[in-house]
Structure 1
Amino acid sequence: MEIDQLKLYWKQYDEKLDRNWKLNMHLLRTTNTSKARNELNKLTWVIGITLAFYVLATYYFVHFTIGGWPSPYLVGSGAILSIWTLIISVGCVHELELISRIDFSEPVATVQGKLLRLKLIIIRYLRLVVWIFPFFMAFIAWFFKALFGIDIMLHADPTWLWSNVAIGVLVFLPFSIWAHRKLSPKNANKPWMNKLIIGNGSQINKALEFIGEIDEFDKER
């Protein structure tokens, strides 16, 4: 009889622990998914504002390119800047599309996988963006034309022009190659990478932390 009562008490105690665990899990999941969702909402706003800016910039530079005809320097500079801003715009659309696919009611592992994919996509587009540095003269050509109405490439001293070309080839080209290699998915969790994407990706790290706490609690059961 005593053994049967002991078994009954143990069963009741075990059921109570299980109910408490499920309750705590529910509270943790509700709280942390809400926090993670808020972080993604912040990121959505950042990306949305960035997209709006670069769509307008792309429109402007396309207009600048057309207006720069027949100067090959202005047309070339405008085309480079148009492509650059278009790449950023496409990247923003891609990132927003990935965010829209994240459903926090899905299993934790699935949500983590989608968050990590979003982070990697941000890094990959960042790898493309750094290739603008060797073409910094495009910004100079645009600046002088937009502010002073002159084609600096036609009026500048040849020595000055060639020295800037040399800087682009000897300094910024190696830098872009180096940055492209460093901005690799394998470095996605490096501290310096997390600092680099502050403001446009750090929200993903926070969301991953919140979702990770749910996963850890589940594993400790």
Structure 2
Amino acid sequence: MEDITLRNLWKAQDEKLDRTMKLNLFILESLQKQKAQSKLNGLARLKLVAVILGIVWSLFLGMLIYGNQLQNIYFTVSVGMIMLITVAAIAIYINHIALIKNLDYSQSITYTQKKLAKLQASTFNNRFIVLQMPFYTTWFWSTQMIESSGIKFWLIAVPITLAFTLLTIWLFKNLTPLNMHKNWVKFLVKNDPEHRPVMQAQKFLNEIEEFKKAS
């Protein structure tokens, strides 16, 4: 009789502990998902501001190109390339906003983690913006300037543009998820206002998984 009573007490205690663990998991999961959602919503607002500013900047550059009327081919090509790259960056940002807004936090943690991994990988596409760099060194070129500068143009302006071009190519090739093991890439990512919220959201979700394993 005492053995049956003892087993019933143990069973009741186990059920109580199980309910407590499930409740704690539910509370933790709800809280961590809210934190992740808050971080990502802030990121979406940041990207929306970037989209608006990018559109304004692109329109301004378009006006400059129209006003130039191909009078200076260096200016037209340089500003045109900056505008095209800006438009491409706007499209990337809009895609990021859509990814964030389409996240379903009611789905499993695994589902959300996969979506965040996709967002993080896509965020590296922002390196596309660095392709503008060389064109900021050529927009002021003109036939008259080249002729009047003579050797100075080839010794100063051209090497500067070449240096920026090589730096741009190097950054574009190396700023990828495959190089996340490199310290300089880690540093840039951790301090990037676009990467940091995604990493923080991933950390919040990982804490749920760690709690599940511990329990």
TM-score normalised to the size of structure 2?
0.88
Listed as ranges, the matches of 1:52-71 within 5 Å are: 52-71=52-71
Letter in 2 for 1:153: S
Q: 1:153 aligns with which of 142, 149, 153?
A: 142
Contact 2:41 2:100 in 1 (8 A): no
Listed as ranges, the matches of 1:25-44 within 5 Å are: 25-44=25-44
Instruction: Identify the residue that residue 172 of structure 1 maps to in structure 2.
Output: 164
Is 2:203 the partner of 1:206?
A: no
Contact 2:113 2:205 in 1 (8 A): yes
Q: RMSD of aligned C-alpha atoms?
A: 1.9
Contact 2:78 2:136 in 1 (8 A): no
- Alpha-carbon deviations, 1:120-143, whole Å to 9, x = none? 1111222x12222232324x42xx
Aligned residue pairs total: 208
Contact 1:84 1:129 in 2 (8 A): yes
From the superposition, tell whether residues 188 and 55 of structure 1 become closer, same or farther in structure 2 (CA, over 3 Å): farther
Instruction: Identify the residue that residue 107 of structure 2 maps to in structure 1.
Output: 106
Secondary structure at the aligned position of 2:95 is classed as helix
- Alpha-carbon deviations, 1:145-181, whole Å to 9, x = none? xxxxxxx514422434333223222x22221222122
Instruction: Identify the residue that residue 148 of structure 1 maps to in structure 2.
Output: none
From the superposition, tell whether residues 161 and 203 of structure 1 become closer, same or farther in structure 2 (CA, over 3 Å): same
Is 2:209 the partner of 1:218?
A: no
From the superposition, tell whether residues 70 and 133 of structure 1 become closer, same or farther in structure 2 (CA, over 3 Å): closer
State the Cα distance separating 1:188 from its structure 2 match: 4.0
1:190 & 1:117 partners in 2: Cα distance? 20
State the Cα distance separating 1:190 from its structure 2 match: 5.7
Letter in 2 for 1:179: L
2:110 & 2:185 partners in 1: Cα distance? 23
1:86 & 1:160 partners in 2: Cα distance? 34
1:160 & 1:85 partners in 2: Cα distance? 31
Higher alpha-carbon deviation: 156-165 or 105-114: 156-165
2:21 & 2:181 partners in 1: Cα distance? 31
1:137 & 1:153 partners in 2: Cα distance? 12
Contact 1:54 1:85 in 2 (8 A): yes
Secondary structure at the aligned position of 2:50 is classed as helix
Instruction: Identify the residue that residue 130 of structure 2 maps to in structure 1.
Output: 130
Instruction: Identify the residue that residue 117 of structure 2 maps to in structure 1.
Output: 116
For structure 1, the residue ranges without an aligned partner over 5 or more in a row are 142-151
- Alpha-carbon deviations, 1:87-115, whole Å to 9, x = none? 21111101101111211111001111111
Higher alpha-carbon deviation: 74-83 or 182-191: 182-191
Contact 1:134 1:173 in 2 (8 A): yes
